[in-house]
Amino acid sequence: MTSIGIDLGTTNSAASTLIGDREEILDIEGDRTIRSVVSFEPGDDEVLVGNMAADLMERNPDVTVSSIKRHMVDDDYTVSIDDDSYEMTEYAPEEISALVLKKVLAGAEGSLGEAPDGAVITVPADFPENARAATRRAGELAGVDVLRLLSEPSAACVAYGLRDRDEDIERVAVYDLGGGTFDISLVDVAHEDKFYDVVATEGEQELGGDDFDEALAEWIAEQIEDETGVDVTDDPGAFLQLKGKAKNIKEQLSARNSATFRDPGTISGENVDIEITREQFEEVTEHLVDRTIEFSETAIESQDMTPDDVDTVLLVGGSTKIPAVKEAVEEFFGQEPSQEVNPDEAVAIGAGVFADSIDPKKALEGDGEDRSELPSDSEGIDVGDVVPDDLGIELASGKIDTIIESNANLPTMERREREYTTVEDNQTRALIKLYQGEGDTVDDGDLELKTEFVLENIREAPANEPEITVQVKLDEDGVLSAHAWDESVVGSDVIDPEDADEVADGEAHIDMTPSGDEEKLSVEEIRALLPSIA
């Protein structure tokens, strides 16, 4: 039994799975990625999907569908195919996507030797609810159990294994320039919780490798006109062909300083040879790169950050192989971006790793890890439920201090940094009780105790001096976990709670009473915390 991850891209799609401990891109009939293109060739009773369909695009654009992902958000959009060899002549975007997924699944079955029975499918971080629902339906139409939808930037973070690193919290910028779209996302990685939170995403649906192809094709057309007097842009078919060649030249120029455009006469009617340097390509596409940096700026500013505040930058999407793109990103963020995982494959790899980690069947097979709590059909990791009621801790005064407000989107995490302290001199322990519900105090309100735990090893100090941080997290399924630590114990701003023994934590399900295996101590024995007055 295997679960796989699928990057259902605007331009290209790919799938991956874990084989043993290794992430593997699944071969789809000989290719690692396939074009997300569907072709309804007349007279053929099989729909062509993938690279062969993409090859037909130039010759028969009327029966070829590409970039359908852009329309997943539009409930009323249909693709009309004007040919009677097909029963259906009108297709909803999810039906076209289902055909792409079917191809990916068939390829996966071929390379795995069995049909995958569950899949995680990735979606852009800012995909609205209806587009997510349409993606789910596409998976179901293709005949696979959609375990979860995962946002693309989160998938990239998973592929890089960021959560398994040693640091505590990290802010990551995922710069994703694909074939037709650009996204810049800021993701918080909370290592101790294995938690990813996309805090901001900016970008454009119509900015990607295609625009680079088009800009270069227009420039080449000018050169052709100078040489031959023929304006290729007047003939849509010829220009489409030229764009195809421009794409090829663009990709060559990522590895070389110059490339040659050759037309034996099929495009302009005359024999043309044009030498194109990387520098010339960079000039005609500079405005596109600049736009991506403007979006990056907007995203950073939306979080009141500066580029310096970003700890790691990941490059995702085929178009980040363009050297000028890499350079612009490096200049903006003031650090070298990571490209260790192939940018064409990072999203698929992350989805595959994630699919394995939530595979419900693995829990039954008993591979040692208890995954029984993990649902098989919850909504996407970035959408889903909201917190029904305020969640807060009880202070020594008896008052409830709200940490997570009702209606926050799940998953969510709040950290109150150095906001709490002790009420007694040399107090080394504190009881942290988390309540959910309405009311100012436990006695005077409708509150339910969700979890309680004891924070130990508080630095011996006069009352009010220790600076204590409390962090509360609700994952996408509403599972609550909380951590607390004394910042002054280790003497650094941020500690890794996993490594520090003074960290205490508790877990409970939001709809369940806590397990209560924490050491129970009465409120008299241990004082709860007061907000610091600093």
Q: Please give the residue ranges that form the binding site for ligand ADP (CB under 6 A).
A: 9-12, 178-181, 208-210, 247, 250-251, 254, 317-319, 321-322, 344
* Phi, psi values for residue 236, rounded to 5°: -55, -40
Binding flag, residue 5, Mg ion (CB under 5 A): no
Shortest separation between residue 293's beta carbon and Mg ion, angstroms: 19
180 binds, among Mg ion, ligand ADP, none (CB under 5 to 8 A by kind): ligand ADP
Catalytic residue among 23, 41, 69, 450: 69
Shortest separation between residue 156's beta carbon and Mg ion, angstroms: 9
Binding flag, residue 209, Mg ion (CB under 5 A): no
**Which among 29-37, 76-84, 173-181, 381-389 is the span making contact with Mg ion, rule CB under 5 A?**
173-181
203 binds, among Mg ion, ligand ADP, none (CB under 5 to 8 A by kind): none
| Residue 7 bears catalytic tag | yes
- Who's near 342: CB < 8 A, 6+ residues apart? none
- Whether residue 236 is preceded by a cis peptide bond, meaning omega within 30 degrees of 0, is no
Shortest separation between residue 13's beta carbon and Mg ion, angstroms: 9
| Residue 69 bears catalytic tag | yes
| Residue 499 bears catalytic tag | no
Question: What is the Rg, in whole angstroms, of the alpha carbon atoms belonging to the chain?
Answer: 27
Here the tokens at position 172 are 């990551």
One DSSP character per residue, 89-102 reads: -EE-HHHHHHHHHH
Residue in 5, 107, 118, 178 binding Mg ion, rule: CB under 5 A: 178
CA distances from 152 to 123, 170, 255, 266, 448 (A): 6, 18, 26, 40, 36
Q: Where are the beta strands (DSSP E) in 223-336?
A: 258-263, 272-277, 312-316
Give residue 173's region: left, alpha or beta (phi > 0; psi -120 to 50): beta
Residues in the chain: 534
Q: In whole angstroms, give the CA distance from residue 221 to residue 462.
A: 77
Cβ proximity to ligand ADP, 285 vs 481, nearer residue? 285
Cβ proximity to ligand ADP, 66 vs 481, nearer residue? 66
392 binds, among Mg ion, ligand ADP, none (CB under 5 to 8 A by kind): none
**Cα-Cα-Cα-Cα dihedral of 312, 316, 318, 321, to 10°?**
0
| Residue 152 bears catalytic tag | yes
**152 contacts 381 by C-beta, under 8 angstroms:** no
Cβ proximity to Mg ion, 31 vs 225, nearer residue? 31
Catalytic residue among 7, 23, 183, 263: 7
Cβ proximity to Mg ion, 339 vs 402, nearer residue? 339
| SS3 state at 127 | coil
Catalytic residue among 94, 95, 126, 176: 176
Shortest separation between residue 11's beta carbon and ligand ADP, angstroms: 3
Shortest separation between residue 220's beta carbon and ligand ADP, angstroms: 16
CA distances from 329 to 255, 315, 471 (A): 18, 9, 32
Shortest separation between residue 219's beta carbon and ligand ADP, angstroms: 16
Cβ proximity to Mg ion, 34 vs 474, nearer residue? 34
322 binds, among Mg ion, ligand ADP, none (CB under 5 to 8 A by kind): ligand ADP
- Who's near 410: CB < 8 A, 6+ residues apart? 384, 385, 386, 387, 474, 475, 476, 477, 478
Neighbour-count burial of 16, counting CB atoms closer than 10 A to its CB (0-12 exposed, 13-18 middle, 19+ buried):
buried
Q: Which residue's C-beta sits nearest to ligand ADP?
A: 209
User: Which x/- pattern, by CB under 5 A, does the window 7-36 give for Mg ion?
Assistant: --x---------------------------
Catalytic residue among 41, 126, 152, 251: 152
Q: Where are the beta strands (DSSP E) in 76-135?
A: 79-80, 90-91, 118-123
Shortest separation between residue 378's beta carbon and ligand ADP, angstroms: 25
* Phi, psi values for residue 239, rounded to 5°: -65, -35
CA angle, corner 78, sides to 72 and 83, nearest 5? 135
Cβ proximity to Mg ion, 178 vs 437, nearer residue? 178
Cβ proximity to Mg ion, 6 vs 220, nearer residue? 6
466 binds, among ligand ADP, Mg ion, none (CB under 5 to 8 A by kind): none
The residues that are catalytic are: 7, 69, 152, 176
Q: Which residues bind Mg ion (CB under 5 A)?
A: 9, 178
